[in-house]
Amino acid sequence: MKFLFPLFFIIFAFAETLKLRIYSTVAVGILDLVLAVIVLIWLFYVKKKDYFLKKPFLIFIAIATFSLVINFTKFNSQEILISISYFLRWVLYASLYFVAVDIGKQLGPKISKYMLLSGVLVLILGFFQFVFYPSLKNLYYLGFDEHMHRLFGTFLDPNFAGTFFVLFFVFIFIMRDKLFGNKKQLSYLVLGFNFIAIILTYSRGAILMFVVCVIIYSALTHKWKLTAGIIGLFALIFFVLSPMFYIENTNLLRFASVEARIGSSKRALEIFQKNPMGVGFNTYRFAREKYERTDWSGAGPSHSGAGVDNSFILILVTTGVFGFMSYIYLMYKIYKLGFANLKKNKFALVLIVSLGGLIVNAMFINSLLYSFFMVWIWILAGLTENNSRG
């Protein structure tokens, strides 16, 4: 574990760039493989404890599995295998919570440092990309959007990059005393560059998430001046950037992407109305092809076809009413874990603020089921529980 976790977070910093596409709709990352080894070691060699989230975790897995089983006959064997592989990936990444609970006492402080190192690497690589690789136009044939004049970093998407930078900002801001000690100026430098990175993604979802995180933090700590200052700062930035609004990619008032996201949610809800028990966890790409009249055979590769922009609607349409309710229950229990330990450790505060912002962000992009954000949230949940124990 002492060797694998630093390796894990170094690989984490390279995000989507270290993935190998083995099929048109399936990609395997080096991070997946390292995490699989970590979880296997935990299963066979690490002492197990009682887990606060075990029950809601198993309930959601059971219902998600059931949603797949009852839809087996609607898909061919290849489609089922692909859907099961993504379901197993969700289980694998969620298992990080259990690992963090069990090893947090021994490696908790080091894991925090690894998260800091990983985030700083993402920042450095992000600014490097913004200066020297300002567009993904040459990868359009692989299903990537161009994202010209935006910081998308190793996530290859400015919306996901912006979301991570918000998560990282919250983590540093709350944990800065433990992470930097007496080097407060260094923490302010990292926070400053992080804030600039959020702006350069031109992601409205990330900006909204940042504001929500600030409001939640202010409500919990009673520091409302911070909220007023942040909102005022964003208003100033909005007017400073407004001359760039003539470019579609950097226009914060652009509507084309909003209409596309609303459209994807409407189509998913229409499919849900015909399948209230769900079409099967992570089968949405194939279900969409069956229910929509559009011919997708010549559409080429895509990095959005397998999901819906709204994480909650995606869970609803794939796992059905009961799966959706079990996932909400899981989110509720994570929050309960955080609030129960709010006065005991700072990880709880980071967890509550981060998850609150991510839930709002998940209304616009599928961030709740994105593997890299699952890493962040599940580790925070595990460390929160571990640090609450004697």
Q: Are 279 and 74 in contact (CB under 8 A)?
A: yes
Residue 298 has pLDDT above 50, yes or no: no
Residue 55 has pLDDT above 80, yes or no: yes
Between residues 347 and 286, the one the model is more confident about: 347
Residue 319 has pLDDT above 60, yes or no: yes
Tell the residue number behind the tokens 């998407």, with chain if given: 157
Tens digit of each residue's pLDDT (9 = 90 or more) over 61-75? 999 999 999 998 888
Instruction: Tell me the mean pLDDT in the region 169-175.
Output: 96
Picking from 368, 357, 280, 364, the residue whose alpha carbon sits closest to that of residue 316 is 280
- Domains contained in the chain, number: 1
The domain of 310 spans 4-387
19 beta partners = 29
pLDDT at 390: 54
Residue 215 has pLDDT above 90, yes or no: yes
Q: Give this prediction's pTM.
A: 0.92
Q: Which band of pLDDT confidence, cut at 50, 70 and 90, is reported for residue 51?
A: very high
Task: Please provide the average confidence, as pLDDT, over all residues in the chain.
Answer: 87
Residue 209 has pLDDT above 80, yes or no: yes
pLDDT at 336: 96
Q: Which band of pLDDT confidence, cut at 50, 70 and 90, is reported for residue 295?
A: very low
> Which of 230-244, 271-285, 321-335, 359-373 is the least confident region?
230-244
pLDDT at 146: 65
Distance CA 191, CA 218 (A): 18
Residue 299 has pLDDT above 50, yes or no: no
